[in-house]
Amino acid sequence: MKQKKTVTAVYPGSFDPITYGHLDIIRRAREIFGTIVVAISRNTAKTPMFSLEERKILIVQSLKEHSMTQDVHVETFSGLLADYLKQRGLTVVIRGLRFLSDFEYEFQMALMNRRLYPKMETVYLMPDEQHIYLSSSIVKEIAMNGKNPREFAPPCVTKALLKQAQLKNEK
Ligand code: COA
C-alpha cells in the first residue's frame, strides 16, 4: 500500500532567481511531503535583481515548465521565517545542503529558528551533484556576462536573465 503523505513543508529562500538546483530540491521534497510551500523572502543582506512578485511569477512558470505544479504552492513572506510558520500553522522547513561550508550557517539558523519557534524542525536535502555548485548569483553573473545560462535555470528564468543583460548593455 502506498503511504499517504500528509505533512506540508515550507521551502524558504530568496530565489533571485530560481535555478535548477532549487527545482531539484523541490522535486526531492515532493517525494517525501504531501505539500510544498515555496516561500520567497527578502534576504536583508542582498540587493535583488527581481522583485518579490517577479520571483514568484518565475517560480510558478518554472514549475509549469517542468510539470511540477501539483501540490506545490508559491508564496511570499516578510519578517521572520519562524513567525511566518507560526501564522501558517506549519512546522517543517526544507533546506538544501550543498557543501560543508553551508552547514555552519544552516546549523546556526536551524537552532535560532527553533529557539524562536520550538515546534519548528528543519529537514536537509542534498541536491544532485550536478547542481551542487549552483547559486542564484552565479547564474546571474553568467547571464550578465553574455553567456546563455540555460544549463542552469529553467527557460522562463533564462529569458528573464537575458532580458536583464540586454537592458544593462543598452544603458
Ligand atoms: N541550488 C542552487 N542554489 C542554491 C540551492 C540549491 N539547492 N540552495 C541554496 N542555493 C543558493 C541560493 O540561490 C542563494 O544564492 P545567492 O546567495 O546567490 O542568492 C544561496 O545559495 C544561499 O541560499 P539561502 O541560504 O537559501 O539564502 P537565501 O537568501 O536564498 O534565503 C532565507 C535565506 C530567506 C531563507 C533567510 O534569510 C530567511 O529565513 N529570512 C527570513 C528572516 C529570518 O527568519 N532570518 C533567520 C533568523 S534565524
What's the chain's Rg over C-alpha atoms? 16
Rounded to the nearest angstrom, the distance between the alpha carbon of 13 and the centre of ligand 1 is 4
Give 4-23 pLDDT, tens digit per residue: 689 999 999 999 999 999 99
The Cα 10–Cα 167 span in angstroms is 34
How would you classify residue 79: left for phi > 0, otherwise alpha for psi between -120 and 50, otherwise beta?
Answer: left
Q: Answer yes or no: are the C-beta atoms of 62 and 38 closer than 8 Å.
A: no
Ligand 1 atom showing the smallest separation from residue 113 Cα: 48
- What is the pLDDT confidence band of residue 119, given thresholds at 50, 70 and 90? very high
Q: What is the 3-state secondary structure (H, E, C) of 26-93?
A: HHHHHHHCCEEEEEEECCCCCCCCCCHHHHHHHHHHHHHHCCCCCCEEEEEECCCHHHHHHHHCCCEE
Please report which confidence band the pLDDT of residue 1 belongs to, taking 50, 70 and 90 as the band edges.
Answer: low
41 lines ligand 1 (CB under 6 A): yes
Residue 111, pLDDT score: 96
- From the list 150, 137, 134, 143, the residue with the least C-alpha distance to 16 is 137
Q: What pLDDT score does 2 carry?
A: 65
Q: How confident is the model at residue 100 (pLDDT cuts 50, 70, 90)?
A: confident
> Taking all residues of the chain, what is their mean pLDDT, rounded to a whole number?
94
**CA atoms of 162 and 12, how far apart (whole Å):** 25
Q: If you average pLDDT over residues 100-112, what whole number do you get?
A: 91
C-alpha cell at 8: 506540508
Residue 110 pLDDT greater than 80, yes or no: yes
| Burial zone of 15 (CB within 10 Å; 0-12 exposed, 13-18 middle, 19+ buried) | buried
- Going by C-alpha positions, the residue among 31, 95, 109, 23 that lies closest to residue 58 is 23
3 or 80, which is more confident?
A: 80
Output the residue whose Cα is nearest ligand 1's atom 10.
135
**Structure pTM?**
0.95
Determine the pLDDT at residue 102: 83
80 Cβ inside 6 Å of ligand 1: yes
Would the pLDDT of 87 be above 80? yes
* Catalytic residue list: 22, 46, 98, 136
The proportion of the chain whose per-residue pLDDT surpasses 70, expressed as a percent, equals 98
* 123-130: average pLDDT: 93
Distance in angstroms (rounded) separating the CA atoms of residues 138 and 144: 10
